[in-house]
Structure 1
Amino acid sequence: MARIVDTRCPRCGAPLPVQPGMDSVICQYCGARSLIDRGRKPTTAPVPQGMHVVRVAPPSANVAVFAVMGAVAAMGVAGGVAAFATQSAPGASGARPVLGVGPSVQFKDRPMLADVNGDGAPDVIGKSGIPAGEEWIAAFDGRDGKQLWRTAALAKDATGHEARRAVVFDRVISIDGLGKAQAYELRTGAPSWSASLGEKPGRVCQGDGVIVVETVDDAKHGLEPASGRRRELAKGAGCKPAPSSNADEAPGYRLVGWSDFDELGLPALHAIEGMSAHRALVPSGPGPRFMLGRRSKGSQVRMVAAVDKKKVLWKDVVPGVDPLTTRAMGTEVAAYEGGLLVVPYDMNDHSQGTRLACFDGATGKRLWDVQVHKKSQVSSGISVSANDVFFATWTAVYVISLKTGQLRYVIGTEF
């Protein structure tokens, strides 16, 4: 029986099944096409520009190996870094089988959710890269975490804390710290257009048929989605939140500080008995608003309360474990989708990592409370879809069922 040879893509390191009789193969993850050299006879034919060569042993050999030639040699070691390792949830043995093994590759962004491959399910987009090395933007299938595409390496100014990334219409927008915007095709990750704003970015949002970038000088710039050409914005035109690297807003809600409470008709900082509310999650539609803060008397413990204007509907401590074993310091964050509120919190013991608590937004009932990991308390942000929670830590995204709290898979390499 003919045997399929498993090797690795020279460009991204993803699994590359080579079937008998094939003279070339296309990587299903990054799209790179490689010629197949089975070593039966020497060849002096030149390798087409941009192509790679995958060398596999003849059928008589027991072990298949590959060599990277042609364009890969010019790329160097960094250019041939493998794609993300996608790890499944623990099985009966408690192990985490690794589906795409490669060098340590990290996810370094708040997950942006959008349907990349057109299957109707939200996929994950964000900045990623190798430790202390080059970074890029990549997209991953929301069903299983497999890489769909990745861009070329980003320039240094596009990776720092002043840079912004967002998904607006059918474009992924990356704006560097110098105000240069680069658009990529949502479906493929291919570069689309670039534009210069002349100022550092503050916020990216979706206007009426136009991409809107708010810069730090309070100016608003309208850009055509297809071409990047400037478009004049109507005075007072609205702008809806888009999936972005900005942790303070998402499609469907935004997070605000206590200085905005009065303008929004919310209870003041110390107005809720037994609680100091420093931030609030404000959904864009009808329903309760959620106050996020800490217990005002005794030991500091994270708390959450739902309010209708200034009336308290319910309140509770966030931790589902002994509250005194948890940390209350740091910025309060949360995510909201389909009437469910998800709030992360840290343990006092750093070796116990981070947990997530999920509440029914209408009743305050705690639906689940789970440990994300026992690794780090550094987080890049949280996003929620109709079915899953996407919690980004220092190096990886943990994808957890919104309904049950069960871990489904991990994108990235765990520390």
Structure 2
Amino acid sequence: MDAVTCHYCGARSLIDRGKKPTTAPIPQGMHVVRVAPPSGNAAFTVAGVVAGMMVISAIAGSLAFSRSGASSAAGARPLLAAGPSMYFDDRPMIADVNGDGAPDVIGKSSIPAREAWIGAYDGRDGKPIWKTAVLAKDAMTHEAKRAVVLGRVISVDALGKAQAYDLRTGNPSWSVLLGEKARRVCQGDGVIVVETVDDAKHGLDPASGARRALAKDAACKPVPSSNADEAPGYKLIGWSDFDKHGLPALHGIEGMTAHHALVPSGPGPRFMLGRRSKGSQVKMVAAVDRKKVLWKDVVPGVDPLTTKVMGSEDAAHEGGLLVVPYDMKDHGQGTRLACFDGGTGKRLWDVQIHKRSQVSHGIATSADSVFYATWTALYVFSLKTGELRYTIGTEF
């Protein structure tokens, strides 16, 4: 390709392979990325790697093809993409959309380089329930926030506009300007609360969006949202907050350095997430009761030295079970998912999610399923067995 577009920031770049000089002016708004020949020096090699990543992104976004065949996993249902590649590219939000008592999944979906929307999918088989109108550009950036609260799906764009959609139908309900970017959406006492980056809290009526007064220091419960550090029933904290929660310090567990912890909202153990501190570093998890270690183990259920340590320390908790994803060193081996009994530390299952991109949008759980979102697709597994149930989107 001679030019590529970055789907993350929208920048357009010309590719210079150094084959022949050119005197043509560079179009306004574009820049040149030089691709190193095999004998290129280190600086050009770095540029070549960057260019290669941009080319891969451009190819992934611009190819239009249909995928209707079944997944390679035994018993898995077909991908639900048809026509141009449809991506599910959001942290999955879990709620009962169609009123059948079973949890469904909501999240931002897109056709790359064309349009994006918020869609709801049946939690039993992944079939679409509804989709919103196409989102504006500012509702698609990493600064935008999405949440499900009090019968509404809330989308707050990068300009501080909060748009509410009806949870049952996806139809727009109301919108309001907050005047600042959102940091978090949560549920107060019968009111939707949007916390903005200036530390202000905005109370909004679920039915109309009208401003509602908030009691000082009123509690605000976590809701299903695009924020990766909390979910109904638990939150993820960094090591600087360990002492506040009565947890062991960063290096307080022998043989382990814990950078994050998953803290359930109810009673029971807390889970330290980190890596082995002696020898070759490997992802580890430990359960603690205050500062007493109940159990600890390496996260990988395969040869630990074939796995990556760097990357997000994500996890989810449901019904006493802890689910932790981890990446393989070989990108061709993709990402895996391990499930532990939170009380005993017994490894219940360990399965491969995919052999594709190791970019993650997040993980969520329901009473019977695990929802893991990559850059392009959502994989849904049985929480009990780890069996792949279905996939939404297009495998990268």
| Contact map agreement 1:86 1:412 (CA 8 A) in 2 | no
Higher relative contact order (CA 8 A, sep 6+): 2
Corresponding residue number in structure 1 for 2:146:
165
**Residue 132 of structure 1: CA displacement?**
2.0
1:296 aligns with 2:277: yes
Corresponding residue number in structure 2 for 1:33:
none
2:385 aligned partner, one-letter code: T
Corresponding residue number in structure 1 for 2:231:
250
Corresponding residue number in structure 1 for 2:381:
400
Gaps of 5+ in 1: 1-81
Q: Deviation string for 1:40-99 (max 9, x for gaps)?
A: xxxxxxxxxxxxxxxxxxxxxxxxxxxxxxxxxxxxxxxxxx9x978755576x886456
1:374 aligned partner, one-letter code: K
Corresponding residue number in structure 2 for 1:348:
329
2: distance between equivalents of 1:158 and 1:201?
11
- Aligned with 1:273 (options 254, 272, 291): 254
2:316 aligned partner, one-letter code: A
Q: What is the DSSP-based 3-state SS (H/G/I as helix, E as strand, rest coil) of the residue aligned with 1:324? A: helix
Q: How many residues align?
A: 332
- Aligned with 1:335 (options 313, 316, 331): 316
User: TM-score of the superposition, structure 1-length normalised?
Assistant: 0.78
Q: What is the DSSP-based 3-state SS (H/G/I as helix, E as strand, rest coil) of the residue aligned with 1:241? A: coil
Q: Deviation string for 1:357-406 (max 9, x for gaps)?
A: 00000000000000000011000000000000000001000000000000
**Residue 101 of structure 1: CA displacement?**
3.1
Corresponding residue number in structure 2 for 1:148:
129
2: distance between equivalents of 1:301 and 1:390?
24
1: distance between equivalents of 2:73 and 2:264?
36
C-alpha root-mean-square deviation of aligned residues, in Å? 1.6
- Aligned with 1:313 (options 294, 319, 322): 294
Corresponding residue number in structure 2 for 1:61:
none
- Shift of the 132–283 alpha-carbon distance from structure 1 to 2, 3 Å rule, reads same
Q: Deviation string for 1:100-151 (max 9, x for gaps)?
A: 6332000110000000001111101000111122111000000000000001
| Contact map agreement 2:341 2:348 (CA 8 A) in 1 | yes
Q: Deviation string for 1:303-354 (max 9, x for gaps)?
A: 0000000000000000000000000001201000000000000000011000
- Aligned with 2:369 (options 362, 383, 388): 388
2:362 aligned partner, one-letter code: G
Corresponding residue number in structure 1 for 2:174:
193
2:104 aligned partner, one-letter code: D
2: distance between equivalents of 1:288 and 1:330?
24
Q: What is the DSSP-based 3-state SS (H/G/I as helix, E as strand, rest coil) of the residue aligned with 1:240? A: coil
Q: What is the DSSP-based 3-state SS (H/G/I as helix, E as strand, rest coil) of the residue aligned with 2:257? A: strand
2: distance between equivalents of 1:97 and 1:271?
46
2: distance between equivalents of 1:86 and 1:112?
25
1: distance between equivalents of 2:77 and 2:186?
38
1: distance between equivalents of 2:390 and 2:76?
12
| Contact map agreement 1:288 1:361 (CA 8 A) in 2 | yes
Gaps of 5+ in 2: 1-63
1: distance between equivalents of 2:244 and 2:192?
27
Q: What is the DSSP-based 3-state SS (H/G/I as helix, E as strand, rest coil) of the residue aligned with 1:189? A: coil
Identity of aligned residues (%): 78
- Aligned with 1:183 (options 146, 152, 164): 164
Alignment of 1:234-245 (within 5 A): 234-245=215-226
1:173 aligned partner, one-letter code: I
1:145 aligned partner, one-letter code: G
1:406 aligned partner, one-letter code: E
Corresponding residue number in structure 2 for 1:370:
351
Larger Rg belongs to: 1
**Residue 298 of structure 1: CA displacement?**
1.0
- Aligned with 1:232 (options 207, 213, 217): 213
Corresponding residue number in structure 2 for 1:131:
112
Which one has the bigger helix percentage?
2
Q: What is the DSSP-based 3-state SS (H/G/I as helix, E as strand, rest coil) of the residue aligned with 2:244? A: coil
| Contact map agreement 1:304 1:316 (CA 8 A) in 2 | yes
| Contact map agreement 2:379 2:390 (CA 8 A) in 1 | yes
